[in-house]
Structure 1
């Protein structure tokens, strides 16, 4: 402790007031003495002791001493005495607390869960902050969610208390970048606190985001919440009807054992909440096994559920779901020459979902009797006038048309054809070309491997040189020309398929994916709008929502959002007026299921974390304590006056 200092040392001049007080005290009138003969003998003695008695009286009179002390203390208080000490103190800060709400944070290897522990730490952290700090709360799901911004301590605690975990994967990197952006650009003491199990997730690299934040003088502190528990989980699921027999389905799912010891796994399979079968397999330590099942199914839509019986520390991946849409029969008209497009005929006739009819020009039935009209190999001389005009009217009224590349397609000179087709035709080219994917689309599922940018082992020998129209969408190209394109026309769709399956055009007919492509194309082009084309998702995926859709989540919430993040495991109901579609959402994420794994970055354990304090010179004023002492002496003075009978 440093010596006592005075803010106003000139105030000590007030001590001069003591001089007149002492003088007045000494010259105040004395009591009058009446002399009696019996005491005359002591008068001489009194004269000799008068001088000494004066000083004794001065010292022994308590009221005078008390008054001197009161005045001295008051003057000392007015001078504002203080001393300086070194103390730790929480400084005012702008801070963001990121709470990881991903699926792995539901693990119960920390009681009651990792997420609950993160909320406790967040509230403790807020409680230790400076009273003037501004606090924002960010929830880290697959995308960051701003729960609250620039709150005081009390409101920030309330906001944390209302935070809920999700079933989505983690994305801490993007949450740090988002938090950096909501902090003020200027100022000091900007901090981000990350409360997470630090499981490997998606998004931007965490170490990179920490460096980017530090460039803007933002301190990023990681608090690791991890109990190193074990887990067994479903990391992948797939269920579909067979293309060749829509009344049979197959189900595959992968179960991984994350323990360091072998485990026996029991999986129960349900269809529409009714048990189908129980399957049992032994899975070695830190490995996985594929389960598969085939069964019969009706044409109605069905919900598939897989549940694991094993007890572990994470329940979110003990269940996986799949939805199988109902079977719809499509009426398809193929307009072609008598002996042409044979491979396409065989592919369409092989599907029980398609009611195919062949029409050979010039005899063509009314188009409005069919869901799809496919125009194959055609000769201009056999097409009656008004055919393309009728096709245009058909498309305007919910009809769907597919133009297949053919030898004479470029030779038609018809304004209705030019308006309908989604490309501008040029000429026929004889060149060997690969087919390149330009857009991921549902008609390419199981045709092109996921992530690939070309059709595997498919070569075109001929193609039509063309270019897309302004409003058309190109899915694939060959030789820099659209190979698969479509556009909306009226209330219908019109597609151009430049990959002709005839042997002199390509080897597509030889591929096992050829009938799959055409069935998926028919299913897509006939689907009413708006409708969800894909029915099985993973948590964290986006669901594009168009106007008029109402969504019911597995927890029962009803939403009308424009884009929905699927952060709950379960079945979602999608309503479009009177129609209801359904989607299934599962975790199926190996990184989230591996709850014992965490990123190797510098972090503080949840039991050791304390908010950083800084040393400051703190001024300690003595003024309040002096006033308390003055009041104490005032009471003593009043006591003496009362005792002497002067009050």
Structure 2
């Protein structure tokens, strides 16, 4: 027995003065009566003054006492906790298969609990960085076959999205989440659990996590000038951690349950980061970073303009090796990128654009800056209708690594265009594409 509001029991104190008042004897009063009246009393009658008999005699007092006790107990909100197993027809298992589950028999506990939670109709979701549905409304036998084939993966854990996905798969039933609840990304799983319970679903959280002696690479943050690597010591004692980053070898002393970092100049190419010490979970002792090699982009600028703005901008980049060609003399393109800007296409040699098109189909790129009297070629992803002189705000249509965190602002004139078939519009002024692209294969 438990009490929801223990303060309510104090209401029972009100019974004390009630009972005391009941048993207070009135002050004796002198009365005159005939002495012979005792002779007429019914034989066997006695004076009943016992405590218990007074209670039995006064029915009104008993009723009042019972009402007061019931009122006091109801204010205290009594409750009884009963251990029971909820059996439902539909069960969705949300399983954490991340690398952290591969320690101290944790994964075996996950499989054991998962098998114990199966019902007649089962669905299984893997809580990876992108939740994966492994089984939808399958039989118990199908679920057992999947569970018997599972192994931990070198992946992150996104329990929040996996739980939300489980809530979309059933309208009634039970959702069982089995994990060590070391969440690396995604929404808060407790918030997701509460949302499912608000829909009337039964949600069980089973924590199979155990403390493990482990050294781990927990994060790698790569920027152009430097790379920062985070190392964590999960031991209960200070550890000297032996680290190897490419050809660099270093020993890092890390306190119990603490994180230390190493910052290095970002290397080019593929670099291996490794903790050479052995522990209970070796999968998080290795990481890789990959950055572009220090190779310049060979660029050909085709132009007849005397303006040096674009040429100066391209030359200023240390990653670009620039060649400038003035039509009609245009070299055979063997560059990574060809840019046409402010050029006179009428003086180009016949077959120039066909040569460039073949060059693009081999995996290279060509860029056209818009201008009046654009040439007729399949290389251009839009049709140019003419120059439009009016104010317009340029909006981003697709966010990618080129347009992310970039605002194009507004213009007071622009070329009105129309996208060609299979073209992708990156940015536009109203309905008119400003930046567009297409793949020639």
| TM-score, with structure 1 as normaliser | 0.45
In structure 2, the CA distance between the partners of 1:404 and 1:225, relative to structure 1 (3 Å rule), is: same
Partner SS for 2:101: helix
How far has the Cα of 1:101 moved from its partner? Answer: 1.0
Report whether the alignment pairs 1:136 with 2:119: no
In structure 2, the CA distance between the partners of 1:341 and 1:350, relative to structure 1 (3 Å rule), is: same
Report whether the alignment pairs 1:439 with 2:398: yes
Write the distance in 2 (CA, Å) between the matches of 1:352 and 1:199: 41
Write the distance in 2 (CA, Å) between the matches of 1:364 and 1:421: 25
- Counterpart residue number, 2:193: 210
Report whether the alignment pairs 1:402 with 2:367: yes
- Counterpart residue number, 1:267: 243
Check the 8 A contact 1:392/1:420 in 2, yes or no.
no
- Counterpart residue number, 1:422: 382
Check the 8 A contact 2:159/2:183 in 1, yes or no.
no
How far has the Cα of 1:308 moved from its partner? Answer: 1.6
| TM-score, with structure 2 as normaliser | 0.63
Check the 8 A contact 2:302/2:330 in 1, yes or no.
no
In structure 2, the CA distance between the partners of 1:421 and 1:345, relative to structure 1 (3 Å rule), is: farther
Q: Trace 1:185-584 onto structure 2 (pairs within 5 A).
A: 185=171, 190-214=173-197, 217-229=200-212, 232-237=215-220, 252-257=227-232, 264-270=240-246, 276-282=247-253, 286-293=258-265, 302-310=269-277, 314-324=281-291, 331-337=298-304, 339-342=306-309, 344-345=311-312, 347-348=314-315, 351=318, 354=321, 356-361=322-327, 363-368=328-333, 370-378=335-343, 383-385=345-347, 390-399=351-360, 400-404=365-369, 409=371, 411-412=372-373, 414=374, 416=376, 420=380, 422=382, 424=384, 426-427=386-387, 437-443=396-402, 452-454=405-407, 464-467=414-417, 469-470=419-420, 471-476=422-427, 482-488=433-439, 490-491=440-441
Q: Trace 1:631-642 onto structure 2 (pairs within 5 A).
A: none
Q: Trace 1:79-228 onto structure 2 (pairs within 5 A).
A: 91=87, 93-106=89-102, 108=103, 111-112=104-105, 114-126=106-118, 133-150=120-137, 153=140, 156-183=143-170, 185=171, 190-214=173-197, 217-228=200-211
How far has the Cα of 1:153 moved from its partner? Answer: 4.6
Write the distance in 1 (CA, Å) between the matches of 2:138 and 2:122: 5
Check the 8 A contact 2:125/2:131 in 1, yes or no.
yes
Question: Unaligned stretches of 5+ in structure 2?
Answer: 1-83
Check the 8 A contact 2:419/2:433 in 1, yes or no.
no
In structure 2, the CA distance between the partners of 1:319 and 1:208, relative to structure 1 (3 Å rule), is: same
- Counterpart residue number, 2:50: none
- Counterpart residue number, 2:24: none
Partner SS for 2:209: coil
Write the distance in 2 (CA, Å) between the matches of 1:478 and 1:230: 58
Write the distance in 2 (CA, Å) between the matches of 1:209 and 1:454: 35
Check the 8 A contact 2:254/2:260 in 1, yes or no.
yes
Partner SS for 1:384: helix
Across the aligned residues of Structure 1 and Structure 2, the Cα RMSD in angstroms comes to 4.2
How far has the Cα of 1:377 moved from its partner? Answer: 3.4
How far has the Cα of 1:90 moved from its partner? Answer: 7.4
Q: Max radius of gyration: which structure?
A: 1
Write the distance in 2 (CA, Å) between the matches of 1:366 and 1:347: 19
How far has the Cα of 1:453 moved from its partner? Answer: 4.8
Give the structure, 1 or 2, with the largest relative contact order (CA under 8 Å, sep 6 or more).
1
- Counterpart residue number, 1:595: none
Check the 8 A contact 2:91/2:121 in 1, yes or no.
yes
In structure 2, the CA distance between the partners of 1:292 and 1:435, relative to structure 1 (3 Å rule), is: farther
How far has the Cα of 1:328 moved from its partner? Answer: 6.5
Write the distance in 2 (CA, Å) between the matches of 1:291 and 1:254: 6
How far has the Cα of 1:194 moved from its partner? Answer: 1.1
Partner SS for 2:133: strand
Write the distance in 1 (CA, Å) between the matches of 2:211 and 2:138: 34
Partner SS for 2:248: strand
